[in-house]
A and B are shown apart, each in its own frame.
Chain A
């Protein structure tokens, strides 16, 4: 093969080329002032086993009564249990391990000297999705375990399908 200008042998490319910078690339936009944020603690579901929580407090003075460590207390509302996750107030976000198919609320606070807990912020309630089929079968729409297993078969390992897509599409 010969042609007049494509001399690729001098410039081998190892793989897909990154997108070159656009005309806007030196400018990432205006700062967003934190002072505008309300005092809040918000929980979001990332996946069946992980919550994201972020918080903002305009007055951080409460954080060190006696030097105690602030905590996120994660309430499993269905199991009526909780667990604590120490946090740095300045981090203002955390990812929290949870179980699937359950409702959760998160509180930001600290342990008191009498083993109590003082909450400063309380989140919304979120529900993690299940990682497998429901145990409920409708009386009007009965399905045998064998038949349902055949319908689940394409999910391979049992979780959401994976396609290993070749293209940067969502």
Chain B
């Protein structure tokens, strides 16, 4: 690697799931979202990073672990349920290894792959991490090669939060939550959905955050014109730096048609043993309602533009080779891009490549291999490209241009449409009314007794949970809609009841204890954060 690179590469993964935890049910379907992500994304990512360290691979990775995700990963009940979940999958995989061996062997390698995969996931979770995945990531951060970002507390789309106090509460609580999980203050934040509105940088500055990320047009349409486009961070009016997303590196990974994950050799996500297996075989591994769903064992490859029944058997070795080829192609493209853009700009470009972390391993099964190969091949394929964390990128900048970014998100069409349309706009009058009342409560109650203090904190918790952008997104996308709607209504209903009890001076302690048991994230939460003062 040369002393002065032709370009720097800032690879960012955003890991987030909404807070889903249902102690009132022995098993709950939507909790599987977390369990699948642990097995398929977070543990493979840990494994990849540990491999880089073991083999002295020089890497830099930036990773958001959203506060709700951290709260779930640190929750003992969910940890226990994850172990039970992965144990079921290990048992299913063992049966599948035997069954596929006894058959013609077409899927035997695949079945063994899953047995190894789930067995390894369990070993990392139970034996190595002792159930504490945030702690495992925190240890990697201490090497200086991983930089962990925070995110808004419950992933609220901040441009659609009405009260400034409520936006600040999302940010300030996130910073406090980060300190508890990672033992230091965060330097940067991933704004949920890259949602930015002018003025938000003041709230970030007050919370001590030094940088955040925007979609491409949030920087390019900023004012005045950014001299270096998205290839250098800009300084917002309040001070924090804003990094812009590079289109080319995003498109190569995101796109359904141009992107790597659509390669015919890769594993097909939608063809799953949960549907293919005879009912008597798969029933013990389904949820108690017996409805067929994906179980996570998938034996076919994408093949091409054919229907699911025409998909061909998956070849793990061929897919692994292709992931390495794609990593090399990605690096070659970035190196060429850096040379070209560097010549235009007259300075070393920063190429920011952010992705949803759950793409890697869940949707794109080979994604962790691709990531692994990026940093293993970088010294040979792109020796002039230097991987950096955002903090390192800022240190390397000779100066930041002052720019006011424009309102933007990284959602469909670049603005708020995905979270504000006919499918979900019913929730905003209620969300905003509760914001108003939460701010009112925060000012009305000063030094309350123990019971009102608990009720105030729980009211704040219910509002925060209702604000998650996940619910409005799900209502737009058409999957799991009843669950999302129920979550919003339930949290707002609980908020309203607590508000009325607080105002009346009569808190139902049994009800309070029950909702505290069910909705329990953020033990550090103090309702006074909704006063909006301080940082």
Contact = CB atoms under 8 A, between A and B. Distances in A.
A21 B433 contact: no
A142 B227 contact: yes
A168 interface: yes
B523 interface: no
Contacts of B293: 19-20
Interface stretch (A70-78, A114-122, A151-159): A151-159
B408 A30 contact: no
Given A45-B416, A47-B416, A134-B222, A29 B430 contact: no
B401 to A, nearest CB: 4
Nearest to A152: B220
A12 B402 CA distance: 57
B386 interface: no
Interface in B86-133: 99-100, 102-104, 106-107
Nearest to A160: B414
B479 A168 contact: yes
B486 A134 contact: no
B107 A3 contact: yes
Nearest to B490: A29
Contacts of A52: 420, 425, 428
A154 B217 CA distance: 10
Contacts, number: 253
Contacts of A18: 479
B390 to A, nearest CB: 20
A130 interface: yes
B248 interface: yes
Interface residues of B, number: 107
Contacts of A11: 309
A83 interface: no
Interface in A109-154: 124, 127-134, 136-138, 140-143, 147-148, 150-152, 154
B303 to A, nearest CB: 13
Interface string A26-70: 111111110011101010111110001010100000000000000
Contact of A1 (B104, B256, B418, B490): B104
Given A15-B308, A28-B486, A1 B227 contact: no
A9 to B, nearest CB: 6
B201 to A, nearest CB: 15
A8 B197 CA distance: 50
Contacts of B308: 8, 12-15
Given A29-B490, A166-B262, A169-B358, A21 B482 contact: yes
Contacts of A90: none
A1 B102 CA distance: 14
A49 B229 CA distance: 24
B256 A154 contact: no
B344 A136 contact: no
Contacts of B356: 167, 169-170
A163 B412 CA distance: 9
Interface stretch (B168-176, B182-190, B269-277, B509-517): B269-277
Interface residues of A, number: 81
A84 B287 CA distance: 54
Interface in B256-308: 256-257, 259, 261-262, 270-271, 275-278, 281, 287, 289, 291-294, 299, 307-308
Interface string B474-511: 00010110110111111011001000000000000000
The A contact surface, by secondary structure, is loop
A168 B480 CA distance: 12
B221 A170 contact: no
B213 interface: no
Contact of B229 (A9, A29, A148): A148
B451 interface: no
A125 to B, nearest CB: 12
B413 A141 contact: no
A47 B417 contact: yes
B449 interface: no
Interface string B440-483: 00000000000000000000000000000100010001011011
Contact of A134 (B28, B225, B277): B225
B418 A165 contact: no
14 contacts: A18-B479, A19-B479, A28-B485, A29-B489, A30-B489, A44-B160, A45-B197, A92-B429, A127-B407, A134-B221, A141-B401, A161-B251, A165-B255, A166-B261
Interface of A: 1-6, 8-9, 11-33, 36-38, 40, 42, 44-48, 52, 54, 56, 92-93, 124, 127-134, 136-138, 140-143, 147-148, 150-152, 154-155, 159-170
Interface of B: 25, 28-30, 99-100, 102-104, 106-107, 159-160, 162, 193, 197-198, 215-217, 220-231, 245-248, 250-251, 254-257, 259, 261-262, 270-271, 275-278, 281, 287, 289, 291-294, 299, 307-309, 313, 344, 356, 358-359, 363-364, 401-402, 406-408, 410-411, 413-418, 420-421, 425, 428-430, 432-433, 436, 469, 473, 477, 479-480, 482-483, 485-490, 492-493, 496
